[in-house]
């Protein structure tokens, strides 16, 4: 499954980059995120409560950030599994300056398996998009509020 999206945030690129990398901000903005703890190996241990179509449940997994090019881009790896099956994905997040702030491009691939794949396939794309929109919507509010401070 392709994951793609473009968002604009009215804030300087450095602030956007920093906040998008900040564990506290991530935990607050990732929909259903109950825990996000940095581990010794540099990965974050995450616990997410997610519902797609009729499938709801808790995922436990890891979030890892690699290929960091501050304040321009990084690669985000997510994998998780739980009662509803598993999900994994890898996206490139690229930031660029635009007239009134920062443009964020998200592009990558995701896979799901188990019950989510069996039941939610038809709604998976819109559900993923909706989760992403929620995430960036929250990030946008947070970052723009910080920028105004």
Partner 1 sequence: MAVSRIFGAAVKRREDPRLITGRATYTDDVQLANLAYVAFVRSPHAHARIRRIDTSRARGAPGVVAVVTGQDLEGKVAGIPTAWLIPNSDLKTPKHPALAVDTVRYVGDAVAAVVAESRAAAADAAALVDVEYEVLPAIVDQEKATQPGAPQLHPDVPNNIAFRWKVAGGDIDAAFRNAEVTVKQRLINQRLIPNPMETRQVVAQYNAGTGDLTVTMTSQNPHIHRFLLSVILGLPEHRIRVVAPEVGGGFGSKIHCYPEEAVLSYLAMQLGRPMKWSEDRRENYQATIHGRDHIVDLEVAAKRDGTILGLRGRCYASLGAYLSTASPGIPTILHGLMMTGCYKIPALDYEVLGVFTNTTPTDAYRGAGRPEATYAVERMVDLLAAELKMDPVDIRRKNFIPKEAFPYTVASGVTYDSGNYEAALDKALEIVNYRQFRAEQAAARAQGRYLGIGFSTYVEICGLGPSAVAGAVGFQGGLWESAVVRLHPSGKATVFTGSSPHGQGEETTFAQIVAEELGLPIDDVEVVHGDTARIPMGWGTYGSRTTAVGGTAMVLAARKVKEKARVIAAHLLEVSPEDLDFVNGRFQVKGVPERSKTIQDIALQANLAWNLPKGMEPGLEESSFFDPSNFVYPFGTHIAVVEVDPGTGAVKLLRYVAVDDCGPVINPKIVDGQVHGGVAQGVAQALWEQAVYSADGQLLTGSLMDYAIPTAQSLPSIETARTETPSPVNPLGLKGIGETGTIASTPAVVNAVVDALAPLGVRHIDMPLTPEKIWRLLPTA
Contact residues for partner 1, defined by CB under 8 A: 57-58, 60, 81-86, 111-115, 117-119, 121-122
| Nearest distance in Å: CB 44, partner 1 | 18
Q: What stretches of 71-148 adopt beta strand conformation (E)? A: 73-82, 85-98, 101-113
- Residue closer to partner 1 by CB (options 2, 122) is 122
| Nearest distance in Å: CB 54, partner 1 | 9
Helix (H/G/I), strand (E/B), else coil: 142: helix
- Residue closer to partner 1 by CB (options 60, 134) is 60
- The Cα 56–Cα 99 span in angstroms is 41
- The Cα 149–Cα 19 span in angstroms is 14
How far is C-alpha 61 from the geometric centre of its chain's CA atoms? 13
| Nearest distance in Å: CB 56, partner 1 | 11
- Residue closer to partner 1 by CB (options 85, 101) is 85
């Amino acid at each position: 499954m392709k994951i793609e999206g473009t968002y604009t945030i009215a804030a300087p690129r450095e602030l956007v980059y920093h906040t998008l990398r900040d564990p506290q901000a991530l935990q607050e903005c990732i929909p259903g995120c109950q825990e996000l703890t940095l581990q010794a190996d540099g990965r974050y241990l995450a616990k997410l409560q997610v519902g797609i179509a009729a499938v709801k449940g808790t995922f436990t997994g890891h979030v890892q950030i690699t290929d960091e090019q501050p304040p321009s881009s990084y690669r985000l790896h997510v994998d998780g599994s739980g009662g509803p099956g598993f999900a994994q994905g890898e996206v490139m997040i690229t930031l660029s300056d635009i007239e009134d702030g920062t443009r964020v491009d998200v592009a990558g691939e995701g896979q799901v398996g188990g019950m989510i794949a069996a039941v939610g396939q038809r709604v998976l794309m819109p559900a993923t998009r909706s989760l992403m929109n929620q995430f960036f919507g929250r990030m946008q509010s947070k970052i723009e509020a910080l920028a105004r401070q």
